[in-house]
Amino acid sequence: MPVGSQATVKSLTPEDLHDIGFEILLANAYHLYLRPGTGVVCEAGGLHQFMSWDSSLLTDSGGFQVFSLAPLRTIDDDGVTFRSHIDGSEHRLTPERSVEIQEQLGADIIMVLDDVPAGGAGENRLRQALERTHRWAERCLTAKRRTDQLLFAIVQGGGNIDLRRVSAKTLASLDFPGYAVGGLSVGEPKDVMYHVLRETVPRLPPDRPRYLMGVGAPEDIVEAVWCGVDMFDCVLPTRVARNGALYTRDGRRSIRHSSFRSTWGPVDIDCDCYTCRTFSAAYLHHLFKCDELLAYRLATIHNLSFFHRLMRDIRVAVDEGRFRSFRDEFRERYRCTDETVRLGQKHAHHAARQRVNRDPFQAV
- Catalytic positions are 60, 233
Whether the CB-CB separation of 161 and 168 falls below 8 Å is answered with no
Q: In angstroms, rounded to a whole number, what is the distance separating the alpha carbons of residues 125 and 121?
A: 6
Exposed/middle/buried for residue 276 (C-beta within 10 Å: 0-12, 13-18, 19+): buried
- Cβ atoms of 179 and 134 closer than 8 Å: no
Cis (ω within 30 of 0) for the bond into 360? no
- Which amino acid belongs to residue 17? L
* CB-based contact 37:96 (threshold 8 Å): no
Pairing of strands 80-83, 90-93: antiparallel
Question: Please, are residues 220 and 190 in contact by the beta-carbon 8 Å criterion?
Answer: yes
List, in order, residues 6 or more apart from 44 with CB less than 8 Å away.
50
CA distance readout (Å), 12 to 17, 151, 288, 331: 7, 28, 17, 30
HEC readout, 174-230: CCCCEEEECCCCCCCCHHHHHHHHHHHHHHCCCCCCEEECCCCCHHHHHHHHHHCCC
Question: What are the helix (H) ranges across the chain?
Answer: 14-20, 29-34, 38-43, 47-50, 63-67, 95-105, 123-143, 161-172, 190-200, 218-227, 236-241, 274-278, 281-289, 293-319, 323-333, 339-358
Q: With beta carbons less than 8 A apart as the criterion, state whether 211 and 152 touch.
A: yes
CA distances from residue 328 to 248, 253, 275, 307, 317 in whole angstroms, order as listed: 17, 22, 29, 18, 12
